[in-house]
Amino acid sequence: MAKTSGKTKIKIAPKKGGASSGTSQTMSLARKPGQWLRRLWMWLGVALLVFLCTSVGAVVAYKWLPVPVTPLMLYRCAQQAANGQEMRMEHEWVPIDSISHNVAQAVMASEDNLFLRHSGFDFEQIHRARLEALHGGRERGASTISQQTAKNVFLWQGHSWVRKGLEAYFTVLIELIWGKERIMEVYLNSIEMGQGIYGVQAVAQFHFGKTADRLTAADAALIAASLPNPLKRNSAAPTRYMKKRQRQIVSLMKKIDDCGMGCR
């Protein structure tokens, strides 16, 4: 403190390290985005690892264990409850030995006649479906039985690219781990076949009054004819169109190899 002409002047010396402290804070702020990015990548890596482990684990488990319930079954029950309807979920798992070979033949003839040959995807049908859509034709699905099984067992309904990508991922997994026979077994036990009816044993009992191993070629073809839209096409009360489609499927079944225990 010094006095000059009756006035007091106060000098404040800069704090030691003031400039370096400011530089340090700037560098710290500059490092934060990089740190957050590294943490983000770390957590994404952990999430991906967990997803891979759980998804592969589930596919391996379902290679031998029956599939008790699917996301679609739960979704339909929620829909029924929201609409004030009685919740209905008829489903009984049966091994493929207890399912008439007519059913496997019928669904292949109707849904995926190259099932025994492709590796999960029918690229020719996918290409044709895209061309038809591009030229103004009706949009139609080109999903194989393997893709439908992957979607039914592991995923939700929808048409998003995320869901489609996951469907492709699970399709590859079940083709590699399950094989054709198991895919067909799971498909026939989990597919929606009517209002609150899932799997071939349930539809055989409620629509035909018999067990799945006693279904005839005509019964199986009628079930297959309903599969594109089982909520509107009732195999217990077939329309004229369904009967026509039934005859077509029976004719096509003669060209399909048996898919019993020898289906690989």
pLDDT of residue 263: 47
Report pLDDT digits (tens) over 155-199. Answer: 988 778 899 999 999 999 999 999 999 999 999 999 999 999 999
Location of structure tokens 């071939």? 200
- For position 106, which CATH number holds? 1.10.3810.10
Selection from 191, 262, 258 nearest residue 229 by Cα: 191
Q: Is residue 40 part of a domain?
A: no
Give dist(CA 115, CA 190) in Å, integer.
Answer: 17
Q: Is residue 97 part of a domain?
A: yes
Q: What is the largest CA-CA distance in the chain?
A: 119
3-state DSSP of 28-47: HHHHHHHHHHHHHHHHHHHH
Residue 7 has pLDDT above 80, yes or no: no
Report pLDDT digits (tens) over 197-216. Answer: 999 999 999 999 999 999 99
**What is the count of structural domains for the chain?**
1
Q: Is residue 159 part of a domain?
A: yes
- What letter would DSSP give residue 209? S
Give dist(CA 163, CA 41) in Å, integer.
Answer: 23
Selection from 251, 225, 220, 252 nearest residue 238 by Cα: 225
Q: Is residue 20 part of a domain?
A: no
- 221: containing domain: 88-111+121-253
Q: Is residue 191 part of a domain?
A: yes
Q: Is residue 141 part of a domain?
A: yes
Residue 15 pLDDT class (50, 70, 90 cuts):
low
Report pLDDT digits (tens) over 63-120. Answer: 999 999 999 999 999 999 999 888 999 999 999 999 999 999 999 999 998 999 898 8
Q: Is residue 148 part of a domain?
A: yes
> What type of residue is 220?
A
Pair 224, 106: CB distance under 8 Å? yes
Q: Is residue 145 part of a domain?
A: yes
- Segments in 62-144 forming alpha helices (H): 71-82, 101-111, 123-134
